[in-house]
Amino acid sequence: MEKVVLGVAGLMSLVQTPLISKEKQGEKELPNILWIVSEDNSAIFTGCYGNSFTTTPNIDRLAIQGFLYTHAYSPNAVSSPSRNTIITGVYAASNGNENMRSNYPKSSMVRTYPEYLRQAGYYCTNNSKTDYNTPSIDPSEIWDESSDKAHYKNRPHGKPFFAVFNLMTSHESSIHRQIPTEQLRHDPSKVVLPPYHPDTPEMRHDWAQYYDKIEDMDKEVGALLKELDESGLADNTIVMYYGDNGGVLARSKRFMYESGTHIPLVVRIPEKYKYLYPAKKPGDKVGRLVNFVDLAPTLLSIAGMPAPDYMQGKAFLGRYRTKDPGYVFMSRQRMDERYDMVRAVRDKKYRYIHNYMPFRITLQHLDYLFTAPSALSWEKAFMEGKTDELRSRYFRTKPLEELYDTENDPWEIKNLASDPAYRKVLKSMSKAENDWRREFRDVGLIPETEYEDFMGDMSMYDYMRSTGCPLNELLDASGLATSGNPKDLDAFKGFLNHDNSAIRYWGATGLLILKEGARPAIPELEAASADRSGSVAALAAEALYGLGEKEAAIKAYITILKDTVNYRMKDRNFALNSIDAIDTKDPEIIAAVRRFYSEKASGEQGFAARYSNYDITMSEYLLKKWDLFDNRK
């Protein structure tokens, strides 16, 4: 009997020991990591975020099995700059790669997270979108595999994997062509429209069609999860699902509102790695503020590696997890052919927006955005005078600041910035925005027309950290310019005489914002309208035009369009944006735009060039606006 007892004890010891060591081993071994990324969908398009009209059973099930982050944000509201942030762990606004289709290099000191993960022992695959908004990241160098054939099953035996699958089904282009209404699975008549959208048939149809695309995307998520289960690797694999930015109906993607930046983020962590749990148990929601800039340091933290000093995000999982941040930050620069500059700050309750170009309307006619029938129907309704104040607001110039209580105003339509009751909130969030610009050396302090002159043979990231960059002067000038205070007139005039073209830009900006208050500065504006910086000259011309000095303004615009020696494509595009804003039908300007377009956009080569040369896109738009465009070209 004694032998039997000892035998049982020995057996129990054999059974228990592996269980104990396996639990400890979970903290030592590298977990596999699977990323599933969907295109262009806000958090509101998933059932797990409270939408009962949508059809996302697979994402919803993943949220029950894992942890749903309630406050996760894309930093740029559009994929390419956001991917730049994700891959480097540095804000695109700090890298100098924030403008869409950026062709500027990254700093040599900024590396990508796959390089670090591979160094840690991971086999890294990307299937298959890259689009990092800079030519200086070569996918073939940073990934083990990057193609539509890339897969974790191709890894060497026993090697942990990090794998990304990008789902294009929900991309904005999915609503560019409407499918027959009878083929829709979601009923357009039952769509609940946001209060700022006009109730047009096209708007309802695009919403319903996009819900169908979300349902299709969710099935792809389900297929990837099923494949993981069938591989037998689910118990060793952390799954992260997120949308790459908000969208896609007009006033979402590209814009600094919840609809454009609030993204779904769900993380499923096997019990084996429960030491990584961000909350008590699977199915719990996590209220931590998360930004895409946090993804790279979080991956390194899961792998047991500290983030390098240049990374600007905060790990939200793993060994180097940080305390919860008080704010997340978002930004917007040029979107394709349209210039704008916006910075936004979000805490758990409020959203603060600072418009650095308040003289531009929110819904500028951007060629790609207005391919959607819903966006065109909204624009048409406004042009025909069929929209009320709220639905017209986005086709008019913006306020300098916006503040929204997102808990009580989820669609962000009641601007509290001028409400004395919220002055303290406004002040603290404005300070947070300015501190962020200072800490991370916001490249938006420099107009894009000047990048090539400033950076020389380095990157904009490096220039902003060099001794040659007058960072404090730039911060002061930009803040003063957008304060809209008439008492700063003399300061703005002084800025126009500065030897730094970026500070001259802020001088022109300040005077343009002052409108009639800038009349005493007409001589300085006339001199600035001949500036070799296209953005300075164009804004000076725009201010002059508004003050009735139309002859001087027109001369400046025509010079920028004609002088291809001193002005580049970005200068011309900036000037064409300005010409659109003044809404002129001056025959000299029309003739100059027609001449430019006929020279640059003729033939097949010119037609293809419009997609990479935004001055061609803008001149074509203006000709259409003036009803002078010949579709036969």
Query: What one-letter code names the amino acid at 249?
Result: L
Interatomic CA distance for residues 161 and 138, integer angstroms: 20
Q: Which long-range contacts (CB under 8 A, 24 or more apart) does 147-155 make?
A: 150/125, 150/126, 151/125, 151/127, 152/32, 152/34, 152/123, 152/125, 152/233, 153/231, 154/123, 154/125, 155/123, 155/125
Q: Which residues contact 411 (CB under 8 A, 6 or more apart)?
A: 194, 195, 196, 258, 259
Strand ranges in 84-213 using DSSP code E only, listed in sequence order: 123-127, 145-146, 161-167
Q: Is residue 303 part of a domain?
A: yes
| Structure tokens given for 151 | 């897969």
| Structure tokens given for 309 | 């000093």
Q: What is the CATH number of the domain that holds 303?
A: 3.40.720.10
User: Residue 12: what pLDDT?
Assistant: 33
* Per-residue b or e along 354-381, where b marks 16 or more CB atoms closer than 10 Å to that residue's CB: bbbbbbbbbbbbbbbbbebbbbbbbbeb
Q: Tell me: pLDDT of 498 over 50.
A: yes
15: three-class secondary structure by DSSP: helix
User: Residue 28: what pLDDT?
Assistant: 77
580: three-class secondary structure by DSSP: helix
Interatomic CA distance for residues 401 and 382, integer angstroms: 24
Q: Tell me: pLDDT of 8 over 50.
A: no
Q: Which residues contact 334 (CB under 8 A, 6 or more apart)?
A: 99, 100, 340, 448
Considering only CA atoms, which of 173, 180, 220, 217 is closest in space to residue 188? 180
Q: What is the CATH number of the domain that holds 564?
A: 1.25.10
Q: Tell me: pLDDT of 5 over 60.
A: no
Q: Which long-range contacts (CB under 8 A, 24 or more apart) does 407-415 make?
A: 407/349, 410/258, 411/194, 411/195, 411/196, 411/258, 411/259, 412/257, 412/258, 412/259, 412/351, 413/195, 413/196
* Run of H or E including 69: strand 67-73
| Total structural domains within the chain | 2
Q: Is residue 506 part of a domain?
A: yes
User: N- to C-terminal Cα distance for the chain?
Assistant: 99
User: Residue 605: what pLDDT?
Assistant: 56
Q: Is residue 237 part of a domain?
A: yes
SS3 content of the chain, % helix, strand, coil (to 5): 50, 10, 40
Interatomic CA distance for residues 152 and 26, integer angstroms: 20
Q: Is residue 371 part of a domain?
A: no
Q: At 7, is the pLDDT very low, low, confident or very high (cuts 50, 70, 90)? A: very low
457: three-class secondary structure by DSSP: coil
Q: Is residue 331 part of a domain?
A: no
The C-alpha torsion from 50 through 345 and 305 to 458, rounded to 10°, is 130
Q: What is the mean pLDDT of residues 221-235?
A: 98
Q: Is residue 314 part of a domain?
A: yes
Considering only CA atoms, which of 495, 535, 527, 497 is closest in space to residue 511? 495
Interatomic CA distance for residues 349 and 70, integer angstroms: 12
Interatomic CA distance for residues 228 and 306, integer angstroms: 29
Q: Is residue 554 part of a domain?
A: yes
Q: Tell me: pLDDT of 269 over 50.
A: yes
Q: Tell me: pLDDT of 567 over 50.
A: yes
User: Residue 603: what pLDDT?
Assistant: 55
Q: Which domain holds residue 553?
A: 470-625
| Cα distances (angstroms) measured from residue 422 to each of 114, 342, 352, 358, 405 | 43, 21, 11, 21, 10
Q: At 14, is the pLDDT very low, low, confident or very high (cuts 50, 70, 90)? A: very low
Examine the fold and report which residue of 283, 299, 325 is the final residue of a domain before the chain moves on: 325
Query: What one-letter code names the amino acid at 210?
Result: Y
pLDDT tens for each residue of 471-491? 999 999 999 999 999 999 999
Interatomic CA distance for residues 27 and 275, integer angstroms: 7
Query: What one-letter code names the amino acid at 623?
Result: L
Q: What is the mean pLDDT of residues 605-612?
A: 61
Residue 83 and residue 128 in contact, taking contact as beta carbons nearer than 8 Å: no
User: Residue 24: what pLDDT?
Assistant: 55
- Report the half-sphere exposure of 631 (CA within 13 A, side-chain side): 2
Q: Tell me: pLDDT of 148 over 90.
A: yes
- Tell me how many degrees the CA angle 507-513-514 measures, rounded to the nearest 5: 90
Q: How many helices (H) and strands (E) does the chain have?
A: 24, 12
How many Cβ atoms are within 10 Å of 562's Cβ, its own excluded? Answer: 13
Q: What is the mean pLDDT of residues 482-505?
A: 97
User: Residue 122: what pLDDT?
Assistant: 98
Q: How far is CA 591 from the centre of its chain?
A: 36
Q: How high does pLDDT run on average in the chain?
A: 94
Q: Tell me the β-bridge partners of 36.
A: 165, 241
Examine the fold and report which residue of 291, 325, 359 is the final residue of a domain before the chain moves on: 325
Q: What is the mean pLDDT of residues 251-263?
A: 98
Cis peptide before 248 (omega within 30 of 0): yes
Considering only CA atoms, which of 199, 192, 175, 246 is closest in space to residue 52? 192
Examine the fold and report which residue of 286, 308, 325 is the final residue of a domain before the chain moves on: 325
Q: At 344, is the pLDDT very low, low, confident or very high (cuts 50, 70, 90)? A: very high
Q: What is the mean pLDDT of residues 19-28?
A: 52
Q: Is residue 414 part of a domain?
A: no
Share of the chain above pLDDT 90, in %: 92
